[in-house]
């Protein structure tokens, strides 16, 4: 309440000194100063959001590269596992398993 009384007192003194036109000019100047301050704060927030957006774009691009590399790794692993499965099915390395396989097929 003290601030509002102080503001009221200053407005009355301005009104007595410069008249109603001076008071209007003072109110306009005060409003413009407030608007300018709000606009500067909004600009700072916008700049911060823009930087976050740019960082997110960089993150997505890096993730895309990692995903591409991972895709190649998965393809290579699948090829090797397929070859291992084919070798197991063909039973090329273990004569004991080969014998058991022929016995099972005959039974």
Q: What is the mean pLDDT of residues 11-25?
A: 77
What is the SS3 assignment for 107?
Answer: coil
Half-sphere exposure of 64 (CA within 13 A, CB side): 6
CB 29 within 8 A of CB 37: no
Q: What pLDDT score was predicted for residue 94?
A: 64
User: Structure pTM?
Assistant: 0.46
Total domains in the chain come to: 1
Q: What is the pLDDT of residue 2?
A: 47
pLDDT in tens, 22-80: 778 878 888 999 999 999 999 999 999 999 999 999 999 888 888 888 888 899 899 99
Q: Which one has a higher pLDDT value, 34 or 93? A: 34
CA 38 – CA 44 distance, rounded (Å): 10
- The reported pLDDT for the residue numbered 99 is 59
pLDDT for the residue numbered 47: 95
Radius of gyration of the chain (CA): 40
Domain ranges, residue 10: 2-106
Per-residue pLDDT at 11: 72
Distance (Å, whole) CA 55 – CA 62: 11
């Amino acid at each position: 309440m003290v601030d509002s009384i102080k503001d009221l007192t200053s407005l009355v003194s301005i009104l007595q000194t410069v008249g109603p036109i001076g008071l209007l000019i003072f109110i306009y100047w005060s409003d413009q100063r407030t608007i300018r301050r709000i606009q500067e704060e909004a600009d700072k927030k916008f700049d911060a959001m823009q930087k976050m957006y740019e960082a997110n774009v960089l993150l997505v691009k890096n993730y895309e590269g990692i995903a591409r590399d991972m895709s190649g790794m998965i393809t290579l692993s699948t090829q090797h596992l397929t070859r291992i499965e084919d070798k197991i099915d063909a039973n090329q390395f273990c004569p004991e398993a080969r014998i058991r396989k022929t016995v099972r097929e005959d039974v």
